[in-house]
Amino acid sequence: MKSSVQKLILIVIGLLAFVSLASSVYWLQTRSNETLVNEDKETEAEQLPKFNTGRPVPPEAKEYFSEIYNFSVLYPKELQATTYNEPSGAVTVVFQDIDSVRGFQLFIVPYTEPQVTPERFKQDNPSGVQEELRNVKIDGATSAAFYSQNTALGETYEIWFIHNGYLYEATTLKPLEDWLNSIIQTWLFI
């Protein structure tokens, strides 16, 4: 019983660390020109022209569309999507719901290699941990899904894939693996 309580406390601490990290990134970075579709709140991104992929969006979801990277993904409407410009043409999109302490981060960086090199992996994942590696398909693109470690978040679940000159890295907490998998399966390259 004590072990279960300790695990629950660690999960809650990890989720709070994830939210804290995402909030810190928000204040340290600037917003990009990404477009949010079906967003309820008034944001800078909503002032940009809206794009319509033509696919149906269930009432419990929103659609995030990137004109720059030509993809769309459906995500739970409780989450807020915030985009941050990064150095070297990279971008980070944080999808989070602070109230339920759920979220994931999507990091996109220009990348011309056909596979992720050990150097690139170490650069983006300093822990070097890549456990239970398996292949999954994301709208036809082969992806690597695995468990890892993050100093701020603890155990993570990650999905990395390369498409049209970009490396995509989706990260969430390990207990949210199935949840992230269901979101990533709505991914659509335009």
Q: What is the CATH number of the domain that holds 77?
A: 3.40.1000.10
pLDDT tens, N- to C-terminus, the chain (190 residues): 544 434 433 443 444 444 344 443 333 333 333 444 444 333 433 333 345 677 889 999 999 999 889 999 999 999 999 999 999 899 999 999 989 889 999 999 999 998 898 899 999 998 999 999 999 889 988 899 999 999 888 999 999 999 999 999 999 999 999 999 999 999 999 8
Q: How far apart are CA 87 and CA 83, in angstroms?
A: 13
What single DSSP character describes residue 7? H
Degrees (nearest 5) of the Cα angle 118, 179, 155? 45
Which helix (H) or strand (E) segment is 15 a member of?
helix 2-28
Domain count, the chain: 1
Q: Which domain holds residue 68?
A: 2-189
Q: How far apart are CA 36 and CA 50, in angstroms?
A: 8
